[in-house]
Amino acid sequence: MTKPKMVSRVLMGVAVLVTAAVHFYLGFAYNAVIFILNAIGFLGLFGLLVIPLPLFQSRRRWVSLGLIGYSALTILLWAVLNGKLDAASISAKLAELVIIITVWLDLQKEKRR
């Protein structure tokens, strides 16, 4: 793995961990299963993206697009259902934007190959 790709993956991983941590916190603090499921979804999609499983490596582009869509949907639903600006939501939404950007850049790099 090249150094820029490694940096991109580390940044993506940190962003996934941040948004998952915020959603786990909210899920357990407010006893809201939807937040816990959201956190598990982020961790699962990121895992499918980085763990070298043959079934998903051949479908890497679809998993990447799924992670982008999942992040965008999370932001959209937050805006529609809540939209409250507090430390948790700001950090989660920034992390989700970082996920979208890093995955998109990763896809662009792969397209050039």
pLDDT at 113: 66
**Nearest partner of 72 among 42, 43, 53, 96, judged by Cα:** 96
For the cut 70, the answer to whether the pLDDT of residue 34 exceeds it is yes
Give 83's pLDDT tier (boundaries 50, 70, 90): confident
Give 1's pLDDT tier (boundaries 50, 70, 90): low
Mean pLDDT of 14-21: 98
Number of domains in the chain: 1
DSSP secondary-structure letter at 86?
S
Q: Which residue type occupies 107?
A: L
89-107 pLDDT, tens digit per residue, is: 999 999 999 999 999 999 9
Within a domain: 113 = no
Alpha helices in the chain (DSSP H): 3-29, 33-50, 54-57, 60-81, 87-112
Within a domain: 13 = yes
CB neighbourhood size of 63 (10 A): 19
DSSP secondary-structure letter at 2?
-
Within a domain: 49 = yes
**Measured distance CA(85)–CA(3) in Å, rounded:** 35
* Domain around 78: 3-108
DSSP secondary-structure letter at 57?
H
Mean pLDDT of 31-37: 97
The encoded tokens of residue 14 equal: 């940190």
Averaged confidence pLDDT in the chain: 92
